Structure 1
Amino acid sequence: MKASYVKPFLVATLVVLADQAIKIWVKTHMYLDERIHFLGDRGMLRFIENNGMAFGMELGGELGKLTLTLFRIVAVIAIGFGLVHLIKHKYHRGLIMNVALILAGALGNIIDCVFYGKIFDYAPWFHGRVVDMFYFPLIRGTYPQWFPFWGGTEFEFFSPIFNLADAAISVGVIMILLFQKRYFKQETPEPVSTNSEVVEE
Structure 2
Amino acid sequence: MNTKKSILLIIVILLIDQISKIYIKTNFQLQEEIYVFDWFRIHFIENNGAAWGTEIGGKTGKLILTLFRLCAIVGIGYWLRKSIKENAHNLLIISISLIFCGALGNIIDSVFYGVLFTDSYGQLATFNPSEATGAIFHGKVVDMLYFPIWQGTLPEWIPSVGGNYFTFFNAIFNVADSAITIGVMILLFFNKVIFPKN
Q: What is the TM-score normalised by the length of structure 2?
A: 0.90
Q: Structure 1 segments of 4 or more deviating over 2 A?
A: none
- Matched AA of 1:45: I
Shift of 1:4: 1.5
**2:110–2:139 CA contact under 8 A, matched in 1:** yes
Q: Which has the larger radius of gyration?
A: 1
Unaligned runs of 5+ in 1: 189-201
Partner of 1:31: 29
**2:49–2:106 CA contact under 8 A, matched in 1:** no
Matches of 2:92 and 2:133, distance apart in 1: 39
Matches of 1:110 and 1:52, distance apart in 2: 8
Matches of 1:90 and 1:28, distance apart in 2: 42
Shift of 1:58: 2.2
State yes or no: 1:159 paired with 2:170.
Answer: yes
Matches of 1:148 and 1:60, distance apart in 2: 32
SS in 1 for 2:156: coil
Alignment of 1:1-201 (within 5 A): 4-39=2-37, 41-120=38-117, 121-186=132-197, 188=198
51-60 vs 102-111, greater mean Cα deviation: 51-60
Q: What is the aligned residue count?
A: 184
**2:66–2:107 CA contact under 8 A, matched in 1:** yes
- Matched AA of 1:19: D
Matches of 2:182 and 2:139, distance apart in 1: 25
Q: What is the TM-score normalised by the length of structure 1?
A: 0.89
Shift of 1:147: 1.8
SS in 1 for 2:81: helix
Higher RCO structure (Cα 8 Å, ≥6 apart): 2
Matches of 1:155 and 1:109, distance apart in 2: 28
- Matched AA of 1:163: N
Identity of matched residues, %: 48
Partner of 1:191: none
Shift of 1:150: 1.3
SS in 1 for 2:2: helix
Matches of 2:162 and 2:94, distance apart in 1: 43
- In the TM superposition, what whole-angstrom CA distance separates every residue of 1:56-102 from its partner, at most 9, and x where no partner exists? 01221111100000001001111011100000001101110110000
- Matched AA of 2:16: A
Shift of 1:54: 2.2
